[in-house]
Amino acid sequence: MPAVHVGRQPVYDRALDVVGYELLFRGHPTATSAERTDDLATTRVIVNTFMEFGLERLVGRRLAFVNLTRPFVVGQLPVPFLPGKAILEVLETIPTDQEVLDGARNLKEQGYSLALDDWEDEPDRRSLLPLVDVVKIDISSCDATELERRVRSLRSSHDLTLVAERIETAAEMDLCHRLGFDWFQGYFLLRPDVVTARTVAPAHLACLQLLGRLADPDIDLGEIETVVRADLGLNYRVLRAANAASSGTVRRIESIRDALVMLGMQTLRSWMLLMVLSDATEPDSEQLTSAMTRARTCELVAKSCGDVRPESAFIVGLLSSLDTVLGLRMELVVEKLPLSDELREALTRRTGPLGTVLRTVLALEDRDDDALTAALDELPVDADEVTRCYLGAMGWAMDTTESVIGPVKVEVGSL
């Protein structure tokens, strides 16, 4: 059975809240050519992925956008989740024949929401429009004039949710917003421009100072208590979150030491790091969840390697996200933090065992096959194991963020 790795990209509404995630499945770069082209075998791996991890572990309470291969559409294989949990995307590579039309109609009758991917106003795909709720347009496939024409054509004849895909710049985002797109997707939204200033805002400086103390893999309980006592708000939130996590037990959590006994050092520190970061950004920021996903993936990959400290890998993964979360250049972040040489090299040069783990995870996030292959050559793990770590980290990050920050605002519902 071919190996498949999974990517996840957020989809935003007009208020820039995350409404869901597109789950991307494809064979990893070490798969053979025959494996990559075996559509049915790949589809079975997708089913197994959902069976093992569950849809909610991948997207939480938000929508899942899932690219369907032909066997799903025509009913050769059952969709591995219930209606209302996902939007099923019919890919542009699937020819629109009668079998596909009948399959799409059957899925619609079962209550599934359908989407057309990469819409280019092709005559043979128009017959699917009455059956779908969502149409996605790759804005890189046409100029602004043609993009506006496609939007007007769809709006004039159908009641649809329109999604702009592959938004790479602020100008493209502004154009799509003005044209009336409902939802938006692209790397620009996930990784906004980083500021180039040499100064750090006071709120961010306080955040960095706390992160610097918590980033020490060898920090002990006494030092954690000192950090928390210096910040009454942090102390309150740690205890509140710990008590919420211990609901159903007899003993009430009344001190940081109690929280340590109940949660463990790594979980307690992870929570505190997330709380500190949330003070410097939006409480429900997608960047926070992404940062925690990366950190946890690095930690799990390090555990699989056996010769890399998982605690240090977690910190490297988290700190590598600060350029996005806080809008600061990584050189400035490293300059302000009292880090070991090993962590500095990993963050700035991507060297050493920690740097290799980070490069591996970043390549997986970016779906960069060449970079992933190069990084895996330096680690005693394969792409399958890294993907498993990433999938496990997704659910952990959402659970942790919700436990510490609160539940997400977006609820899954009908379109």
pLDDT on residue 195: 41
pLDDT on residue 152: 96
How far, in Å, CA of 16 to CA of 303, rounded? 35
Structure-block tokens of residue 302: 């390090």
Half-sphere exposure of 409 (CA within 13 A, CB side): 11
At 36, the pLDDT band (50, 70, 90 cuts) reads very low
Give tens-digit pLDDT for 71-110.
Answer: 889 998 788 888 888 899 998 889 999 999 999 999 999 9
pLDDT on residue 47: 66
pLDDT higher than threshold 50 for residue 159: yes
Q: What angle do CA 262, 268, 274 make, to 5 degrees?
A: 145
pLDDT on residue 33: 39
Q: Give me the residues paired with residue 24 across strands.
A: 7
pTM comes to 0.69
pLDDT on residue 268: 73
pLDDT on residue 411: 39
What the chain holds in terms of domains, given with CATH numbers, is: 4-190 (3.20.20.450), 202-404 (1.10.3210.10)
In this structure, is the dihedral angle defined by the CA atoms of residues 241, 247, 252 and 256, taken in order, positive or negative? negative
At 45, the pLDDT band (50, 70, 90 cuts) reads low
Q: Are 85 and 55 in contact (CB under 8 A)?
A: yes
Give tens-digit pLDDT for 217-271.
Answer: 677 777 777 777 666 667 777 777 777 766 666 567 777 778 777 777 777 777 7
Element (H, E) at 5: strand 4-12
pLDDT higher than threshold 80 for residue 62: yes
